[in-house]
Amino acid sequence: MKNTFALILLLIISTGLHGQKFDGLALTPPMGWNSWNHFGCNVDEKMIQETADAMVTSGMKDAGYTYVVIDDCWHGERDSLGFIRPDPGRFPSGMKALADYIHSRGLKFGIYSDAGAKTCGGRPGSRGYEYQDALTYASWGVDYLKYDWCSTGELNAKEAYTTMRDALYRAKRPVVLSICEWGDNEPWTWAKDIGHLWRISGDIHHCFDCQWDHGIWSSWGVVQILEMRKNIRQYSGPDHWNDFDMMEVGNGMSAGEDRAHFSLWCMMASPLIAGNDLRKMSKETVDILTNKEVIAVNQDQLGIQGYKMLDLGDLEVWVKPLKDSGLAVCFLNRALIPESIGFDWKEYPIDDGFSKLKIDFNKATYQIRDLWAKKPAGTTNQEFKAIVPGHDVIMLKLFR
């Protein structure tokens, strides 16, 4: 106890010193799983262990998923010195044992807290306890922290998240910091040196095109979040990502809607954090979440967020520059009925001022691969013809 108290005192004395973010932890968008979308507050160590097992046995780990993140409601009470403890009924073995189990599976362990006095689920938040919590997380072996924004009153967001960043750095265990203040304070303009990813919207809902009104706030469908923030792609890149929220793949939408959702999150270089029950996935869900060719678009080393190049009514064309002058192209059908494509590449040159990618298909021929059909789809010398089912996509990779 004396050693712990001395370490707290040392951290308190050093709070005036400038901390920093752990660099290089998220050079491509983080991939993993989070408990909130499917389980809400119904979390316990058995379910988390089973989820880690399923991440391995389903092929998700091999596809690149790394983090197993417990969201809200794991908390118990703080002890007499203010240290947070897990709920003993839900996590009887303790968080260190759970982290060790997850690490033994070749995965990384994530946890949740809040910048306010209370979490969104009413559990103890980190306000006033940032350095103690950072020490605790380090002792448990935490690799990822999702840090929420409930019960924050008049707190300044940039300062609050900087405090936790500095606390994590002083605790000396590298931790990915996920900023979750819903885009209210435009974190893309200030958070690059604070966190590794930041939410750009309120919570997602398991629907393709809807708004779920909770009274004073709303949850949003896939296409609503996709359209919510304009002109922020320049703020996203290696080690600092625009986060379009945890995914709803496998949570009740159709297979086509799940495929479109996953494709668009890959196109937008969003972190790929699954939010379903990994223990009970259909083959369709597994095939979507583990499509390595689509994931490669998300994980492309350039780290360029995609953008909507053409709006043809219900049919949209999204593009994402890739390394080696490659290009991902996603045809999105927002309607419920199928849409026919007759796309002449030579009529639509690429001129992306942000990435500096320019392609004139009259002068350059690209090979085309259909990433969901997993087969060649001709070249840009020919018109691309296909039918996009309702609420679905066709996703292509162009390369030379």
Residue 18: band (very low, low, confident or very high) from pLDDT cuts 50, 70, 90: low
Q: Which of 203, 245, 258, 277 is catalytic?
A: 203
- Please give the pLDDT value at position 310: 97
DSSP string, 270-300: --EEE-S-GGG--HHHHHHHT-HHHHHHHT-
148 labelled catalytic: yes
Token pair, residue 174, equals 């590298």
Strands (E), 129-248: 144-148, 176-179, 197-199, 211-213, 218-220, 241-243
Q: Nearest to residue 260, comparing CAs of 222, 211, 293, 233?
A: 222
Q: In 10 A of CB 77, how many CB atoms?
A: 12
Which own/partner pairs from 305-308 qualify as long-range (CB within 8 Å, at least 24 positions apart)? 305/233, 305/236, 305/237, 305/242, 305/268, 305/269, 306/233, 306/267, 306/268, 306/269, 306/330, 307/233, 307/352
Query: pTM of the predicted model, to two decimals?
Result: 0.95
- 156: Cβ contacts below 8 Å, ≥ 6 apart: none
How far is 208 from 396, CA to CA, in rounded Å? 21
246-270: average pLDDT: 98
Q: Which of 71, 133, 143, 148 is catalytic?
A: 148
Q: Do residues 119 and 78 lie in contact, with contact meaning Cβ atoms separated by under 8 Å?
A: no
Q: Token pair 């059909």 is at which residue? A: 373
Q: Token pair 């998923």 is at which residue? A: 65
Token pair, residue 59, equals 């092929």
Angle, helices 95-104 vs 45-57, to 10°: value is 10
- Read off the pLDDT of residues 124-155 as tens digits, 9 standing for 90 and up: 999 999 999 999 999 999 999 999 999 999 99
- Please give the pLDDT value at position 77: 97
Residue 8: its H or E element: helix 2-13
Q: Please report, rounded to a whole number, the percentage of residues in the chain having pLDDT higher than 70.
A: 96
Q: Token pair 């986060």 is at which residue? A: 243
- Please give the pLDDT value at position 213: 87
- Please give the pLDDT value at position 214: 87
Q: What is the mean pLDDT of the chain?
A: 95
Q: Which amino acid is at 319?
A: V
50-78: average pLDDT: 98
- Please give the pLDDT value at position 217: 83
- Please give the pLDDT value at position 254: 98
100 labelled catalytic: no
pLDDT at 7 over 70: no
65-81: average pLDDT: 98
- Please give the pLDDT value at position 215: 86
pLDDT at 9 over 70: no
- Read off the pLDDT of residues 174-215 as tens digits, 9 standing for 90 and up: 999 999 999 999 999 999 999 999 999 999 999 999 998 888
How far is 129 from 393, CA to CA, in rounded Å? 46
Residue 255: its H or E element: helix 255-267
- Please give the pLDDT value at position 16: 47
Domains of the chain: 24-298 (3.20.20.70), 307-399 (2.60.40.1180)
- Read off the pLDDT of residues 280-296 as tens digits, 9 standing for 90 and up: 999 999 999 999 999 99
- Please give the pLDDT value at position 15: 45
- Please give the pLDDT value at position 13: 43
Q: Which amino acid is at 306?
A: G
